[in-house]
Amino acid sequence: MRFAAVLNQEGGTLRTIDLSAFTDRMRQTLEAAGHSIDIDIVAGKDIVATLDRIASKHSVDIVLAGGGDGTISAAAARLMGRKKALAILPAGTMNLFARGLGIPQTLDAAVKSLADGEVIAVDMATANNKPFVHQFSIGMHARMVQLRQTMEFGSRLGKMRASVKAAWAAINNPSTM
C-alpha cells in the first residue's frame, strides 16, 4: 500500500520526541511490511491544507494522520466519500478516538499495528455539515473546550489542569442564548 503521512508537529506527543529519528523508524517499519510512505511534518495551522492536498492524490491509498483528536477529525473529514483509508497515529494529548479503536498508544507500537493491520469501517456523522468521528458536543462542554483551547499546556496533566480552569470559567460565566 502507498501511505502518505501528515504529522502535526504540535501534537502532544510529537512535540516531545526526536521527529527525525521517529520518522526514520516509521519509514523502516512500513517499508519492511511492503508499503511505501511519504511523510509531511507540518504545523497545526497547515494541517487542513496539507490533508486536502494529499487526499486528492491518486497515488495515495492510505492517509496516515498523526496528531490529536482534532487532527484525526480533520483528516477523516477530508477523506469522507473518497476511496482512501485513514490510518491513525495517536500523537495528541488524549487520543480518545484512537483509544476507542484499540490502537496502541505508543508511537512505534501504533506504526507496527498500521503496517500489519487491516482496514475497518467506522461511523462518521455530521453536525451543521461538519463531519466528525469522535464526539460532538453543545452547551457548557462545548464552551469549556473552546475556553481550554485558548490556554497553554504542554502535557496531559497540563491539559487536565486547563480543563478544570475552563470548566470553572464556563460555570461562572455561562453563555447566553
Domains of the chain: 2-127 (3.40.50.10330), 140-172 (no CATH)
Q: For a pLDDT cut of 70, what percent of the chain falls above it?
A: 97
Give the model's confidence band at 177: pLDDT under 50 very low, under 70 low, under 90 confident, else very high.
low
pLDDT at 153 over 90: no
* Mean pLDDT for the stretch of residues 110-135: 88
- Indicate whether 96 pLDDT > 90: no
| 46 has pLDDT over 80 | yes
Residue range 98-109: average pLDDT? 94
**Residue 68 clears pLDDT 70, i.e. is over it:** yes
- Give the model's pLDDT for residue 136: 67
Is the predicted pLDDT of residue 143 greater than 90, yes or no? no
Collapse the DSSP code of 140 into the 3-class scheme (helix H, G, I; strand E, B; otherwise coil) and give the result: helix
Half-sphere exposure of 49 (CA within 13 A, CB side): 6
Q: In the chain, what percentage of residues exceed pLDDT 90?
A: 57
Angstrom distances, CA of residue 89 to CA of 37, 49, 137, 173: 14, 19, 24, 36
What pLDDT does 158 receive? 83
- Look at the alpha carbons of 109, 9, 57, 70 in this order and tell me if their dihedral is positive or negative: positive
* Bridge pairing between strands 62-67 and 2-8: parallel
Per-residue pLDDT for 162 more than 90? no
- The mean pLDDT value for 7-21 works out to 91
pTM given for the model: 0.81
